[in-house]
């Protein structure tokens, strides 16, 4: 992290980097099941993988992308406006950790543990919103 980069922006970049890797396990499973040609010859994605964990991984990846849009925008707004606080910096670090946990828990198939990770991440986003409006210090 550079001196000019807020912790929120730093963790948004780490979250984006992590999210950019989440397609790989699903594709690897497709290649194992369908072979090199079959695994890449499905432009409409109408041949799902047989492994339930791989099906969950693609849904977890989609969820990560959807939430990155919100988190990334908030972190960028904090970077631009300079409204970083100790609470928002901590929330960004926690967000990054729970997104990793959310993906792993989703792939393993523990819905009772997945929901709390999602909710913690959502709460972290609201801490960033609160920092932008000056509601937390």
Tell me the CB-side half-sphere exposure of residue 21, using CA atoms within 13 A: 9
- pTM equals 0.92
Reported as a single tens digit per residue, the pLDDT across 59-102 is 999 999 999 999 999 999 999 999 999 999 999 999 999 999 99
Tell me the CB-side half-sphere exposure of residue 135, using CA atoms within 13 A: 7
What distance in Å separates the CA atoms of residue 77 and residue 74, rounded to the nearest whole number? 5
Reported as a single tens digit per residue, the pLDDT across 14-61 is 999 999 999 999 889 988 988 887 777 776 667 778 899 999 999 999
Number of H helices, E strands in the chain: 5, 0
């Amino acid at each position: 992290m550079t001196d000019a980069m807020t912790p929120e922006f730093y963790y948004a970049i780490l979250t984006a980097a992590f999210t950019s890797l989440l397609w790989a396990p699903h594709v690897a499973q497709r290649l194992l099941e369908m072979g090199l040609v079959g695994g890449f010859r499905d432009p409409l994605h109408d041949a799902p993988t047989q492994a339930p964990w791989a099906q969950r991984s693609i849904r977890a990846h989609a969820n990560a992308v959807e939430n990155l849009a919100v988190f990334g925008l908030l972190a960028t707004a904090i970077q631009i406006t300079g409204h970083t606080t100790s609470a928002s910096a901590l929330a960004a670090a926690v967000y990054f950790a729970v997104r990793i946990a959310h993906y792993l828990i989703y792939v393993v198939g523990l819905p009772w543990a997945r929901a709390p990770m999602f909710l913690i991440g959502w709460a972290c986003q609201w801490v960033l919103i609160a920092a932008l409006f000056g509601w937390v210090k």
